[in-house]
Amino acid sequence: MKRTKGTKKVAWGVALVALAALAVWVSQRWNVWFHNPEENAYVSAPQPHRVLLTFGDDDGLSSRNVSWQCDSVVKPSWLELATDSDTVRVDAQGEVFVSRSGRAAYYMARLRQLAPDTRYGYRVVTGGQASPWYGFNTYGTEGGFSFIYVGDVQDTIGGAANRFLREAFSRQPQSEFLVCGGDLTERPTDQHWAETFRDLDSIGQHVPLLCVTGNHDYLKGVIMRLERRFPLTLSYFLDSKTGDNMVYTMRYGPAQFFLLDSNREFFYLTTQRSWLKRQLEASTAKWKIVVLHHPLFSIKGNNNLIQRWMFDDLIEDYGVDLVLQGHEHAYARMTRHDDNGQPVTPVYTVSHCSPKNYRIQFDDRFDKFGISSRYYQTVSISADTLTLAAYEVYHHTLYDSLRIVKQKPQPRIEDYGRDIPEYMEFTPEPGSKKDHAYARRIDDYKRRHPERHK
C-alpha cells in the first residue's frame, strides 16, 4: 500500500523532531565529551621536586620505584639509598615530556632486591642538586598485611585531601601502602598535578602508591589520550603496560593485585581481557584483588555494561575475592549470593574521597550505601581472613565492615555492615525539583530498608 502525502509529512516531521532533539542533547553534552580545560603555562622547578614512591616490578615486597621532576632538560641523576650500615647509588633514567603549555624532565630510579623488614632512607640528585632525605620500610614475607584504599580524590586547588589522608594513616599506622581507584588528579594539567602532589605531601614520599587510571586522567576526544606524564609519574606502568593499556599486576605476600584501565574504548578492553585471563590463570596467590575505575555493577543505573561484559565472568570464574572501584562518587558495597542465598565472593566496593558527590540509584543488589560524605577503606589480610573496613573521613568513624574467611568448599562472608546505620544526609535546595526528586528516592530506599537506619 502506497504512503499518502500526509503520512510522508508526518514521518518527515517525526524525523526532524528526533534530529533536533539529538542536536540539543549533543550540544549539551559536547563539553563533557570533548572539552579539555586550558593548561596554564608553567616552568619546571630547577631542583628535584614532586618525588613519589611507588612499586616496581611484579614483586611488591622487594621492589620500589622513585620518580621525580627537575628542570626542563635531562641532566645526570641518581638516587642515594641508605641503610644503617651502607649507602649505595642507583642511577636514574630521565626523559623530557612536552605538554600543551610547558615542558619538564622526569626521572625514575628502580630499586630492586630490597631486604625484608628494613628501614631505608633515600634522596634524589639531579644536576648536582639534592632533594631532602625521605624514608620507607619494607616488610616481612610471612604473615599478613594491611593497606588503605581510596576511590576518586580529584581535589580542588587548595583542597583538604592531604589532611584527610594524613589523618587516615595516623589512625591506621599498620597500613603498608596506599591504593587509589583512579582520578587521583582532577584534570591532566600541570596546575592540577601540582595539587595532587600537595595532596600526597608527606605520604607519597614514604608510603608506596598504587593507582589505576581514571577518566579524568585522560584528554578527551573521539579516542581518548593519556599523556605520557601519567606513566612517567606512576612509573610501574612503564614496564607493565600492554600496548596503550595501563595494566599492572603485583604479588604482595599472599595476595596478588590486578590493575585494569577501564576507561579505554572497546577494542582496547579486548586486549585487557586477554591479559587479565592470562594473569589470573597463572596466579597462585591465596587472595586476588582487582582494582579498576568504573564499577562493574553501577550504582547510577545501567552504566559500564561493556566493562562488566569484558571482565566480570573472569573475576567470578578465577576466584577473585575483592573488586575495588571508584568513579561514581558515593560509597557502596555489593556481595554476590549463591543459589541458596548465601553470600559468596567476589565482594565489590565503590568508594570516593572527593569534594563532589553524585546522585545514585540505590539498587537493592547492594548491601550498603553512603552519600554526601567521603570515605577511605582499610583492607587487612591475616592467615585465612580478609577484613574490609570503611571509614567516613570527617570523623573517622567506622561506616562498614565485613570479613572473608577462606574455607572449603567456598569462602564464608561475615557481614557486620548492617549493624552500622547508613549515612544518608541530604538537604534539597529550595525550589530544586531535581533535588526534591532525589530526596524522595532516598526516602523510598529508607522505607524499603528500615533496618539500616536506626
* Cis peptide upstream of residue 409 (ω within 30 degrees of 0): yes
C-alpha cell at 116: 625484608
pLDDT tens for the chain, residues 1 to 454 = 555 667 777 777 777 777 776 666 656 665 666 678 899 999 999 999 999 999 999 999 999 999 999 999 999 999 999 999 899 999 999 999 999 999 999 999 999 999 999 999 999 999 999 999 999 999 986 779 999 999 999 999 999 999 999 999 999 999 999 999 999 999 999 999 999 999 999 999 999 999 999 999 999 888 889 999 999 999 999 998 888 899 999 999 999 999 999 999 989 999 999 999 999 999 999 999 999 999 999 999 889 999 999 999 999 999 999 999 999 999 999 998 888 888 889 999 999 999 999 999 999 899 999 998 999 999 999 989 999 999 999 989 999 999 999 988 888 898 777 678 887 888 888 889 899 999 999 999 989 988 887 6
Output the DSSP codes for 121-166. Answer: EEEEEETTEEPPPEEEE---SSS-EEEEEE-B--PPTT-SHHHHHH
Q: What per-residue confidence (pLDDT) applies to 30?
A: 56
The residue among 414, 391, 68 whose CA lies nearest residue 229 is 68
Pick left, alpha or beta for residue 67 (phi over 0 → left; psi -120 to 50 → alpha; otherwise beta). beta
Sequence-ordered strand ranges (E) for 169-222: 178-180, 209-211, 218-219
Stated pTM of the model? 0.93
Q: What per-residue confidence (pLDDT) applies to 454?
A: 61
Q: What per-residue confidence (pLDDT) applies to 371?
A: 92
